[in-house]
């Protein structure tokens, strides 16, 4: 087995440096063009796992920057979650509202689900109108929208009128097209494989 000569290794290293230099120049140009500074609307949707997890990750990041944050959970509420237990440790920095009645197949009461969604929206709308909130997480709002419990136009208008520097993250599968168009960043989670499909129960720290 022949070892590569020092000149061949040197040439490979040079090629790598040249590629990375070109990439750095490209990235630097993109960064230089990104001069707008304002709050962004992020929508996490799709059938895969991770929509809420991503939202709560951004909530943690926002707290790290000293932001005042608000959370409204639209569907979840019939069971406790690790994120609720954790973020309630910061009552001065996070206004946390669990407004859901549980998943619709559990409640089996559409009128109650609609009432809960509308009550949650009143809290959310108050946050969206208040410049004291730097970051607002509207967890599972997409579910309330796709089921028609809330009007997409009403939600969209409140998002458009929010304070200029306020960041908003909306989660839930089935995000309506109008919301996707309004959003600055959209991520769609796709199912590749899930433990539940193999009969594994929801686990604390993973789903709960």
Q: What is the CATH number of the domain that holds 88?
A: 3.40.50.300
The values of phi and psi at residue 66, to 5°, are 80, 20
pLDDT of residue 155: 98
Do the Cβ atoms of 162 and 182 come closer than 8 Å? no
The number of distinct structural domains making up the chain is: 2
Q: Are residues 25 and 109 in the same domain?
A: no
Query: What DSSP element (H or E) covers 11?
Result: helix 6-33
Q: Residue 105: inside a domain, yes or no?
A: yes
Which of 166-183 are b and which e, b meaning 16 or more Cβ less than 10 Å from the residue's Cβ?
Answer: bbbbbbbbebbeebeebb
Q: Are residues 46 and 79 in the same domain?
A: yes
HSE-up of residue 112 (Cα within 13 Å, Cβ side) = 11
Q: Are residues 128 and 53 in the same domain?
A: yes
Q: From first to last of its 208 residues, what are the pLDDT tens digits of the chain?
A: 555 566 665 788 888 888 988 889 888 888 888 788 999 999 999 999 999 999 999 999 999 999 999 999 998 655 678 899 999 999 999 999 998 765 554 556 788 889 999 999 999 999 999 999 999 999 999 999 999 999 999 999 999 999 999 999 999 999 999 999 999 999 999 988 888 778 888 787 777 7
Q: Are residues 2 and 75 in the same domain?
A: no
Q: Residue 98: inside a domain, yes or no?
A: yes
Count of positions (residues) in the chain = 208
Q: Residue 134: inside a domain, yes or no?
A: yes
Q: Are residues 126 and 160 in the same domain?
A: yes
Q: Are residues 87 and 137 in the same domain?
A: yes
Domain that holds residue 62: 37-198
pLDDT of residue 198: 81
Rounded alpha-carbon distances, angstroms, from residue 143 to 44, 85, 148, 176: 12, 23, 9, 10
Q: Are residues 122 and 138 in the same domain?
A: yes
pLDDT of residue 132: 98
Q: Are residues 165 and 137 in the same domain?
A: yes
Q: Are residues 28 and 72 in the same domain?
A: no
Q: Are residues 188 and 174 in the same domain?
A: yes
Q: Are residues 79 and 182 in the same domain?
A: yes
Task: Output the six-digit token pair for 171.
Answer: 């989660």
Q: Are residues 154 and 106 in the same domain?
A: yes
Q: Residue 204: inside a domain, yes or no?
A: no
């Amino acid at each position: 087995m022949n070892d590569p000569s020092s000149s061949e290794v040197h040439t490979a290293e040079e090629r790598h440096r040249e590629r990375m230099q070109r990439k750095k120049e490209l990235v630097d140009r993109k960064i230089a063009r990104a001069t707008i500074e304002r709050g962004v609307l992020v929508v996490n949707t799709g059938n895969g796992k991770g929509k809420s997890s991503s939202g709560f990750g951004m909530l943690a990041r926002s707290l790290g920057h000293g932001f005042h944050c608000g959370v409204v959970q639209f569907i979840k509420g019939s069971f406790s979650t690790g994120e609720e237990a954790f973020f309630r440790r910061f009552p001065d920095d996070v206004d946390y509202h669990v407004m859901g009645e549980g998943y619709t197949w559990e409640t089996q009461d559409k009128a109650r689900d609609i009432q809960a969604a509308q009550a949650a929206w009143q809290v959310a709308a108050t946050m969206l109108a208040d410049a004291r909130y730097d970051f607002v997480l509207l967890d599972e709002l997409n579910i309330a929208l796709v089921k028609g419990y809330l009007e997409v136009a009403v939600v969209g208008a409140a998002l458009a009128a929010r304070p200029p520097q306020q960041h908003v993250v909306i989660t839930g599968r089935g995000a309506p097209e109008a919301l996707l168009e309004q959003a600055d960043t959209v991520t769609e989670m796709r199912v590749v494989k899930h433990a539940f499909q193999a009969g594994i129960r929801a686990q604390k720290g993973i789903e709960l």
